[in-house]
Chains A and B, each alone.
Chain A
Amino acid sequence: MTHVSNLQKVMDSGKFGVTGEIGPPRGADPDHIIKLARELKGSADAYNLTDNQTAIVRLSSIGSAVILMKEGMEPVVQMTCRDRNRIALQSDLLGASAIGVRNVLCLTGDHQIFGNEKSAKGVFDLDSVSLLSTFRNMRDSKKQLSGEELEAAPQIFLGAAENPFGTPYEFRALRLQKKVNAGAQFIQTQAIFDMDWFERWMAEVRKMGIHDRVHIMGGVIPCKSLGGARYMKNKVPGMKVPDSIITRMKNAKDKGQEKEEGLRICVEMIERLKCIEGVHGVHIMAVMWEEMVPYLVKEAKLLPRPIL
């Protein structure tokens, strides 16, 4: 099988994959990304560059990818359906592939109401599933969505997200299957705090045989503070944070050890993920704390990253 990216090669060869994430800055200065890139280099197989996450205007994912590649690191470009129609999405895929991007994560996108341009017109011409199938056909059949032939096909390792904690609960494994049928080759999940719930979901996923067809990477976020944990529990739609986590963070706060406990919990999550059948990697979203990724990967005994 041909591998188009390092991330694909690592997971296809049966090794546990690691992806990090960099949130681009809210300005045109590339230094923020360059600085983070240098701190993170070597700690993951590829790094997600978010696409105007929560509808806040940031340096674009593809722009960030160029900066990252100059540092010798592999990007995962994220593309949402909120800001672009099928013309722009297909065009951006051709552009990304042309400049050397080899991993793309297809998302529907957070609604514009969450961001800092609330009056914007949300596009949503496509959704994550139809985006996956569009991109897959561009790559494998060299055809754009309308059926017209492309001059040259993009080369891309296609990914998507899935949220085992969103409703309808019974449907989440089916939806994953739908994304795999549409072309998803790797999946990054929403951050996991309720590992029991996640394990139950994985059991269902295995029953349907999906785990053999796609590389599932469990998502984790290290809590920086009790307030952060509470925010994720109460204010983020579709996240499940058990009370036990809140209790641990609260006790840690009383001892002045919030950060240490947050990191400890995250390492525990990663260790558990390594043991779940069908989980082929971990996706570390160290929001506002990206510099901790090397520490987390080391503590979870996932260093050094394989060079294949």
Chain B
Amino acid sequence: MIRAERKPVSEIARMLAGKKKVLVVGCKTCVAIGHAGGEKEVAELVSALRLVNAKEGHGWQFEQTVVERQCEKEWVRPIEEKIISADAVVSLACGLGAQTIADMYPIKQVYPGVNTMFLGVPEEQGVFVEKCLACGECVMFETGGICPVARCAKSMRNGACGGSADGKCEVNLETDCAWYMIYERLKLQGRLDLMTKVVEPKDWSKSHAGGRRKIVRKDLLIQPTDRTGTEVKK
């Protein structure tokens, strides 16, 4: 899921200079599971900011809360009063949640309390690893189920490069070379033929490089039609 890292308390404290009523809002989904922005982390941040407040005398008054999914307006609306009465809102949700509040209440100053990092899996307790880049055109069926876009530092389609040493990536010797892993996986599956063909370059226009992306699901739209069956704009 979406992985985020807590910003240093001092950085958040600097953002709040001159503010009085501070609302800290967490999210119960991705960031809670990743121990970065759930109820516990909200409590920790507020306690830490209270210490800063006591030390430096900013006069901050804190409100804290957490919503189910900060990226969906329905879950944000119930805390509208708290948002409106605050001078500053610190969101511990990922960039999606923080921007949802910011877009719904454009007059409010919304500050990010975390750095949204990547789409990743938990390898073990406390260790999260990036595995997907949301590139818009999944090709992992050709690479034995290992994504070459996210897991190869050069996003190669015809790997491995010459810097693969002892199965490790030249960029970070602790990282496994994705193409070494792909080779071993395809060997295991008896599909080494996939490694020998010349693969075309990726269509980057489907990724973020092509601009902000949008999915419109016609089958899900609530769109009334007139008697002729033509869709009518509401």
Which residues of A come within 8 Å of B, CB atoms? Answer: 81-82, 86, 108-111, 113-114, 122, 124-130, 133-134, 145, 161-163, 166-168, 170-171, 174-175, 177-178, 181-182, 190, 237-238
Q: Which of A111, A175, A178 contacts B170 (CB 8 A)?
A: A111
Q: Which residues of A contact B74 (CB under 8 A)?
A: none
Q: Are A167 and B180 in contact, with the CB atoms below 8 A?
A: yes
Q: Are A182 and B166 in contact, with the CB atoms below 8 A?
A: no
Q: Give B155's nearest chain A residue, CB to CB.
A: A124
Q: Which of B158, B166, B173 contacts A127 (CB 8 A)?
A: B158
Is B199 close to A, CB under 8 A? yes
Q: Are B165 and A237 in contact, with the CB atoms below 8 A?
A: yes
Which residues of B come within 8 Å of A, CB atoms? Answer: 153-168, 170-171, 173, 177, 179-180, 183-184, 195-202, 204
What's the minimum C-beta distance from A173 to chain B, rounded to whole angstroms?
Answer: 11
Q: Are A111 and B153 in contact, with the CB atoms below 8 A?
A: yes
Q: Are B196 and A178 in contact, with the CB atoms below 8 A?
A: yes
Q: Are A168 and B167 in contact, with the CB atoms below 8 A?
A: yes
Task: Select the residue from A128, A161, A168, A174 with max chain B CB neighbours within 10 A.
Answer: A168
Q: Which of A113, A129, A167 contacts B164 (CB 8 A)?
A: A167
Given contacts A111-B170, A125-B204, A168-B183, contact A238 B198 (CB under 8 A): no
Given contacts A133-B198, A166-B165, contact A171 B160 (CB under 8 A): yes
Q: Which of B163, B165, B168, B195 contacts A174 (CB 8 A)?
A: B195
Considering the chains assembled together, what is the distance between the CA atoms of A108 and B153 in angstroms? 11
Q: Which residues of A contact B179 (CB under 8 A)?
A: 168
What's the minimum C-beta distance from B179 to chain A, rounded to whole angstroms?
Answer: 8
What's the minimum C-beta distance from A132 to chain B, rounded to whole angstroms?
Answer: 8
What's the minimum C-beta distance from B103 to chain A, rounded to whole angstroms?
Answer: 27
Q: Are B161 and A108 in contact, with the CB atoms below 8 A?
A: yes
What's the minimum C-beta distance from B81 to chain A, rounded to whole angstroms?
Answer: 43
Q: Are A166 and B160 in contact, with the CB atoms below 8 A?
A: yes
Q: Are A128 and B196 in contact, with the CB atoms below 8 A?
A: no
Q: Which of B154, B183, B199 contacts A124 (CB 8 A)?
A: B154
Q: Are B162 and A166 in contact, with the CB atoms below 8 A?
A: yes
Given contacts A129-B198, A167-B177, contact A111 B158 (CB under 8 A): no
Task: Select the residue from B160, B163, B177, B199 with max chain A CB neighbours within 10 A.
Answer: B163
Q: Give A133's nearest chain B residue, CB to CB.
A: B198
Considering the chains assembled together, what is the distance between the CA atoms of A81 and B156 in angstroms? 10
Considering the chains assembled together, what is the distance between the CA atoms of A127 and B162 in angstroms? 12
What's the minimum C-beta distance from A123 to chain B, rounded to whole angstroms?
Answer: 9
Q: Which residues of A contact B170 (CB under 8 A)?
A: 110-111, 114, 237-238
Q: Give A126's nearest chain B residue, CB to CB.
A: B201
Q: Which of A133, A134, A238 contacts B163 (CB 8 A)?
A: A238
Considering the chains assembled together, what is the distance between the CA atoms of A133 and B168 in angstroms? 27
Given contacts A171-B183, A174-B195, contact A130 B158 (CB under 8 A): yes
Q: Give A82's nearest chain B residue, CB to CB.
A: B154
Q: Are B154 and A122 in contact, with the CB atoms below 8 A?
A: yes
Considering the chains assembled together, what is the distance between the CA atoms of A111 and B159 in angstroms? 14
Given contacts A127-B154, A237-B163, 16 further A-B contacts (CB under 8 A): A108-B162, A111-B163, A124-B154, A126-B201, A127-B159, A130-B157, A130-B199, A130-B200, A134-B201, A162-B162, A166-B160, A167-B164, A167-B177, A168-B167, A178-B158, A237-B170
Given contacts A108-B154, A168-B183, contact A182 B198 (CB under 8 A): yes
Task: Select the residue from A114, A124, A134, A163 with max chain B CB neighbours within 10 A.
Answer: A124
What's the minimum C-beta distance from A235 to chain B, rounded to whole angstroms?
Answer: 11
Considering the chains assembled together, what is the distance between the CA atoms of A167 and B166 in angstroms? 6
Q: Are A125 and B201 in contact, with the CB atoms below 8 A?
A: yes
Considering the chains assembled together, what is the distance between the CA atoms of A171 and B164 in angstroms? 12
Q: Are B165 and A129 in contact, with the CB atoms below 8 A?
A: no
What's the minimum C-beta distance from A251 to chain B, rounded to whole angstroms?
Answer: 27
Q: Which residues of A contact B164 (CB under 8 A)?
A: 166-168, 237-238
Considering the chains assembled together, what is the distance between the CA atoms of A56 and B204 in angstroms? 26
Q: Which residues of B contact A113 (CB under 8 A)?
A: 171
Considering the chains assembled together, what is the distance between the CA atoms of A161 and B161 in angstroms? 10
Considering the chains assembled together, what is the distance between the CA atoms of A133 and B11 in angstroms? 49
Q: Which residues of B contact A175 (CB under 8 A)?
A: 160
Q: Which residues of A contact B157 (CB under 8 A)?
A: 127, 129-130
Q: Which residues of A contact B165 (CB under 8 A)?
A: 166-167, 237-238
Q: Which residues of A contact B180 (CB under 8 A)?
A: 167-168
Considering the chains assembled together, what is the distance between the CA atoms of A145 and B155 in angstroms? 19
Q: Which residues of A contact B201 (CB under 8 A)?
A: 86, 125-127, 130, 134, 145
